[in-house]
Structure 1
Amino acid sequence: MEDSHRWLDFPLRDGDIILSTRSKHGTTWTQMICALLVFQTPDLPAPLTELSPWLDWTIAPKATVFARLEAQRHRRFIKTHTPLDGIPVHPAARYIVVARHPLDAAVLLYHQGDNIIRERVAELTGEPVPEAKRGPRPELHEWLVAWTLSENDPREAPDMLPGVMAHLSDAWRRRAESNLLLVHYADLAADLEGEMRRIAAWLDIEVDETRWPELVKAATFGEMKAKADQVAPDPAGLFRSRDAFFRRGTSGSAAELLTPEEFAAYERRIESMAPKELLTWLHRP
């Protein structure tokens, strides 16, 4: 359902905000924060998926996505799951990469698989449901262990462990670049207002002090879940439940699903994929 080649034909504007994330790393949360900062009101003028289209998503025709973005007069903020090494890096655009504890993201990805209507995907893409997606799924523990040991090509399976670490490692190498901001899901959870203020300052967006309380409240988990019909990334009806998309997860809790031996194997595996500084940052409480 993704085609990063679209970026080659897309005309970027100065000031565009590109949100480059892996699945279940806080994409929708960061889109909402950007929407609140750009419009400076909880009453957004359109559903979040219209304000911040997923440019690579092939279910939405390329011409339609490009035309929608071309018509936007506000500062654009665009979603992609493509790593930075797969999209043009415009010197006058801003890029935000959101990271999360990999095991937590994996568990949420597993649950999202139960929420996707595969037949609807097949209907819209014209492709049959893949053999691997048919029949009963393995239990969460079995699936998570396999995820930690996966050796998939990051380009073919970007949401498996090698793909996640390739995406984050590439961003980490670029972290000193002035038009790149790294955001950690755990920081959003621990200090939402502080992180929203940090993002606003980095984007050179000024917010009246009187507006901050309502903007921060609108970005909380409870408020976003209450508006799932307007906020969930499901314009084509792929989810069984938009409400179920917002599944609360505690940072670091997924590690408890593995035995000590399995977690040690995960640590050994991931140590070969990324620099120690990134792993320390990624796995901190």
Structure 2
Amino acid sequence: MTTDLPRKTRDYEGPVTNTDMWDSFAFRPGDIVLSTPPKSGTTWSQAILMMLIHGAAITDRAVWHDAIWLDCAFRDRDAALAALAAQPHQRCIKSHTPFDGIAYDPRAIYIAVYRHPIDTYFSLKRHVANMKYDWLDHLFPDTPGAAFARFLNGPLTDQGTDDLTLASLINHYRSFKTWSHLPNVHLFHYADLKSDIRAAIRRYAAVIGTPAPEALVEAIAEATGIDQMRDITRHHARPAADSAFHDETSFFDSGSMNKWVGRLSQPEVDAYAARITASLPKGDRIWLESGTRP
């Protein structure tokens, strides 16, 4: 086990990510950095964390927008910094960046959330189709089998998770797993949120040092169901000009697991198994696919 501390050693830059923002970011004690591969429970976790911070199951607005995406490449950077600086409460900062592209502060709390890579792939495919811009369309070619083959076999590049490949998901996981022995670095899994959301809410509360009475846990569990989050978005959607999506409510997919059943051929399933088995030790593969569920 290494005894030194994480540090930012590289930048990732792609169509939706630019990590040089971290070089000048001023942390506050208790800041939460929520970094996940895209479509791995990011918004769900943002909503839970912001509701815990506010001590209320807020449904009169899309509270997850308060967890600002700091290293987003296509939004106003000064506005993002100003919005974070103006927040008087404990801050939650969204990212999709591996740990080696994020500034480290021992006073901050780092949370990473993961999901079965194939479920992530299918959600990514739908997510990109819902985007107004064609920045990522080329990553999902229409030729049968080509999109999944690219996901499986695409190399890791300096674009980080903007690659939207298995290699980029694994790289993100390794970058946080390496430091998960530190008391301020915490790994969560989508499957655990699905199987027992109330236990997950309690764990989030413990990690960020926030009270979680049972009434609040129950209220947040109800408010962050997928149908409820769609309703919140429907009624409080950002103006069309401020949204990167054709339909913001479609941002929330089915939330299901095992999406590949009936959608991938057996050779494709076998190719995935061979690829991830060669990339991760058995224990890491099992956790990345299934979390800690019994």
CA distance in 2, matches of 1:104, 1:130: 18
Structure 1, unaligned stretches of length 5 or more?
A: 120-128
Residues 114-157 of structure 1 show CA distances to partners (whole Å, capped at 9, x for unaligned) of 111117xxxxxxxxx68937xx9415744123311222426354
**Partner residue of 1:153 out of 134, 154, 157:** 157
Show the 5 A alignment for 1:163-202: 163-202=168-207
* Structure 2 residues without counterparts, runs of 5 or longer: 1-15
Q: CA deviation at 1:206?
A: 0.8
The code of the aligned residue for 1:150 comes to G
Residue of structure 2 aligned with 1:217, choices 215, 222, 245: 222
Q: Distance in 2 between matches of 1:130 and 1:86?
A: 21
2:104 to 66, 89, 93: 89
Equivalent position to 1:252, from 235, 258, 263: 258
TM-score, normalization by structure 2: 0.85
Displacement after TM superposition at 1:159 (Å): 1.9
1:2 partnered with 2:17: yes
Q: Determine the C-alpha separation between the residues in 1 that align with 2:159 and 2:239.
A: 23
Query: SS state of the match for residue 212, structure 1?
Result: helix
The count of aligned residue pairs is 274
Seen in structure 2, the aligned counterparts of structure 1 residues 155 and 254 have a Cα distance that, compared at 3 Å, is: same
Deviation for aligned residue 1:170 = 1.4
Q: Report SS of the residue matched to 1:98.
A: strand
Partner of 1:123: none
- Work out which of the residue numbers 17, 23, 28 in structure 1 matches 2:43: 28
- RMSD (Å) for aligned C-alpha atoms: 2.5
Following the alignment from structure 1 to structure 2, what is the Cα–Cα distance between the partners of residues 256 and 67?
47
Instruction: Indicate yes or no: 2:23 matched with 1:18.
Output: no
Do the aligned partners of 1:48 and 1:233 also contact (CA within 8 Å) in 2? no
Q: Which residue in the other structure is 2:90 paired with?
A: 75
CA distance in 2, matches of 1:272, 1:180: 26
Residue number in structure 1 paired with 2:138 = 132
**Cα offset, 1:233, TM superposition:** 12
Listed as ranges, the matches of 1:82-121 within 5 Å are 82-118=97-133
Q: Which deviates more, 142-151 or 216-225?
A: 142-151
Q: Do the aligned residues in 2 keep the contact of 1:154 with 1:160 (CA within 8 Å)?
A: no
**Matching residue's letter, 1:61:** D
Describe how 1:254-269 pairs up with structure 2 within 5 A. 254=260, 256-269=262-275
Aligned partner letter, 1:43: I
Distance 1:234 1:14 in 2: 35
Q: Following superposition, which runs of at least 4 residues in structure 1 exceed 6 angstroms of deviation?
A: 231-235
Q: Shift in Å at residue 273 of structure 1?
A: 2.1
3-state SS, counterpart of residue 227 of structure 1? helix
Q: Is the 8 A contact 1:21 1:27 kept in 2?
A: yes
Q: Structure 1-normalised TM-score?
A: 0.87
Which residue is equivalent to 1:143? 147
Look up the match of 1:51. Answer: 66
Pair 1:271 & 2:292 matched: no
Q: CA deviation at 1:161?
A: 1.3
Question: Matches of 1:111 and 1:140 in 2, distance apart?
Answer: 16
| SS of alignment partner, residue 18 of structure 2 | coil
Q: Percent identity?
A: 28
Say whether the 8 Å CA contact 1:115–1:241 is kept in structure 2. Answer: yes
CA deviation map 1:21-78 (0-9, x unaligned) = 1110010000001011001212267543541110011322221111111111010001
Please give the alpha-carbon distance, in whole angstroms, between the structure 2 residues aligned to 1:170 and 1:197.
Answer: 25
- Residues in 1 aligned to 2:46 and 2:239: alpha-carbon distance in whole angstroms: 10
Q: What is the distance in 1 between the residues matched to 2:177 and 2:32? A: 18
State the AA in 1 paired with 2:63: L
Matched, 1:206 2:211: yes
Pair 15,231 (structure 1): closer, same or farther in 2 beyond 3 Å = farther
Equivalent residues of 2:226, 2:255 under 8 A apart: no
Q: Any idea what SS the aligned residue of 2:220 has?
A: helix
